[in-house]
Amino acid sequence: MANTNDKNSENNSEPSEQGITDVQASDLGFDLELVGNFGRFVSSQSYPIEYFMASMPMAQANRYLKFASDVQMDDIDFDLLMQRDIDEERVEKEIIPYLRQDDQPGSTRPLFFPPLLAAIVPVRDNKIEKFYGAKEMTTPIDGYRGVKWSGHFQVYGLTTDSPDGLSLTVDEQSQKIKSRQALLNLRTEENFGDGVMLIVIDGQHRLSALKKLYKRNINSVKNLIVPLCIVYPPNSHLGTTNDETTPTVPRVFRNLFVDVNSTMRVVGGHFNILLSDKTVGDISCRVFCDTILKDVGRTGLSVIEWNTRSAKESFNITKKYTSTSIGIIQKGMEENFKPNMLVNYLLDITEGSEDLFPEGASREDFYPNIKWDSFSYAQSNAIKERVKLHVVPLLQTLYFESVPFKELFDIFSGEIEKLKEEQTQETQAGIAAQAVLHTVLEYKPLNLEEPDFRSRMAKFVLAIESKRKVAKLDIAQYALFQRALFSVAGEIIRFGLKYEVAQVNAYKGFIALIDSIFLRDRSVFDHDQSYLQFTAFDQRRIRAREDTKLTFRDLILAHLLDPDIRAKVVQGGFSSLDNPNPLSADLLDRGFSAAGGLLSRFREERGKAFRKSYEFDYSLTQEEREDLKLKEMTQKSHEREVKEGTREEHGFIRDFDIAVDDYIENFFVDAKKQLKDRLGIQGDLLPIENEKDATEGEES
């Protein structure tokens, strides 16, 4: 790896040993030349990637190596917004200290960074283009042969007939060059306004640290030469035989970004979801975010957590002002919409879907059966369009139009508007408001050293929390509750499939159910409701268990026992049915089974809790506690004897279990009565003979 030249270097009109002069390069429309090794990475049926190993002096790297954030934000799409996210805390606390050896006098510790991975990205007017310019063979100077992507870049080298030479094209039908003495010319956006950017897709944090040090103390890194691997997809250019199935440059690099970071080190939960094309759920999350960014704007996208790096936290809501998380959406969809019949129903896939199954197409390129996580690359574009048409509107309706989430968004938007008004003031308060806006809407870290910034952020969060509490919407921020919503949606959608109703209409039935509940009595979800204690909450703390999701699911579905709510579900999503009575009967049955499941779970969990804590339950008399303890010890002794074979199991009476059941019965009756009152049910929730044997509601 050798020299680098740019058009601002001292002009030299004499040909160099290795390539064209700076003047010649400028005449051809190129302003940056790199010398290094040219190579190709392709295996089996993979889409070819070519690379160029080179190096840059720190001054040049600071100028030409870019972040995704260097593209204008006004024109950014969600794909680029994801890749621009940098963990500033990691840069400041880990990487910069690693480089700052001047803080350790006499240190002999060797330092080295592996090569940065930079993508050649076509740009016009600061907006990424889909393809490189037309590809053509070129002879820049005698004895050299290369490939040029018009208006963007060219790779060339000395021709050779040596077996060690490398063909300039994947098909190996072109001239070979000495790959270890190659040259790369780039027309950079930096100097021309259009051309290419070298956007770092792996090593952004290392580059950020280097640039910060270069700015703060140029002497500390002025002699550093940055190792660099530049990559590009040679076949993603204008004029290909099939532009519809040819991967775009941004898409290739998005997939490469995921593969590099997921196989070498973890990028972070949300990014591994959003940058993936492996499942319908992954695609849905990304298209949903992209749609919200375009249709609702940054305020809308800011209530969706999409850039949490911790894999564990990515399936929860970590910010007190947001409404949901991509991890919750992805998990909720996968848990409930994965069966093949639902995938076809949701995406409106039929045997005659020409976009997915072109007549005469190869089975390798177009799978005959689309599954949640099984489809070809050629089909993924069509799936993306179907997701945009059929799935995204469902998610958008839930999170921006349904009663609970619309109220949450209105609360958030109102506080954002206050910040926007404040930032116009030429005061410290205005500066603080602007800092909070940058953090919330543009994901820039808040300067915690500024007390005014901390104070305004705390005020912003507290205002949202207070209004959410008054509106009784705290329940909507629990991940387990939202996953329960997806479970309920899955069940209502299955009714749509059964009764041959369009999926969008079935989903309207689900929204009608949720809206009806929150408009009537949202205190049904309060933590102090007796039927939610031990099943969903322990006092005020939510029980972080899968059973909690089932409890919320059953509580929502139990509202189907109310004839008015049942009628709204039918009218909202199934009004096209000539005879809605069979559906109404099915919904009623599901309401009964859901209520039974909830009460059965309460009996079981209340019994477990009672067994563990009765010795310290001072609502019982001392005599009652002592009697229970004696019965427990006697029962355990008898159980041990049965196990050892010294006592017959026949005739063994479990007095402790019977006593516990007697105590629990009182709690059960109270919980059942409170549930009836909250649901507004006049009749019984369960047939009397089945009260103690109520089974779980049927799983989704």
pLDDT digits 0-9 by tens, 262-279: 554 445 668 777 777 889
Choose the most confident range, by mean pLDDT, from 83-87, 474-478, 690-694: 474-478
* Other Cβ atoms closer than 10 A to 431: 16
68 versus 244: the higher-pLDDT residue is 68
pTM of the model: 0.70
In this structure, what DSSP letter does residue 314 have? G
What kind and span of H or E run contains 195?
Answer: strand 194-202
Give the phi and the psi of residue 569 in degrees, each rounded to 5: -65, -45
119-132 tens-digit pLDDT = 999 998 878 888 99
Give the per-residue pLDDT at 150. 93
pLDDT of 413 above 60: yes
Q: Tally the C-alpha atoms within 13 A of residue 687's C-alpha that lie toward its C-beta.
A: 7
420-450 tens-digit pLDDT = 999 999 999 999 999 999 999 988 888 888 9
Give the per-residue pLDDT at 694. 43
CB-neighbour burial class of residue 364 (10 A; exposed 0-12, middle 13-18, buried 19+): exposed
Q: How far lies 245's CA from each of 335, 355, 379, 389, in Å?
A: 31, 11, 9, 20
Q: How many helices (H) and strands (E) does the chain have?
A: 25, 17
Strands 116-124 and 153-159: unpaired
The C-alpha angle 210, 256, 5, rounded to 5 degrees, equals 45
Q: What whole-number percentage of the chain has pLDDT above 90? A: 58
Query: What is the C-alpha to C-alpha distance for residues 128 and 251, in angstroms, rounded to an integer?
Result: 11
User: Lowest-confidence range among 64-78, 201-215, 302-316, 668-682?
Assistant: 64-78
Residue type, 452: D
Give the per-residue pLDDT at 256. 77
pLDDT of 248 above 90: no
* Other Cβ atoms closer than 10 A to 543: 17
Give the per-residue pLDDT at 35. 94
Average pLDDT, the chain: 86
Give the list of residues 6+ apart from residue 86 with CB closer than 8 angstroms, or none. Answer: 67, 69, 204, 205, 208
317-365 tens-digit pLDDT = 999 999 999 999 999 999 999 998 899 999 998 877 888 887 777 766 7
At which residue do the structure tokens 């917004």 appear?
Answer: 81
- Whether 572 and 512 have beta carbons less than 8 Å apart is answered as yes
Give the phi and the psi of residue 237 in degrees, each rounded to 5: -140, 165
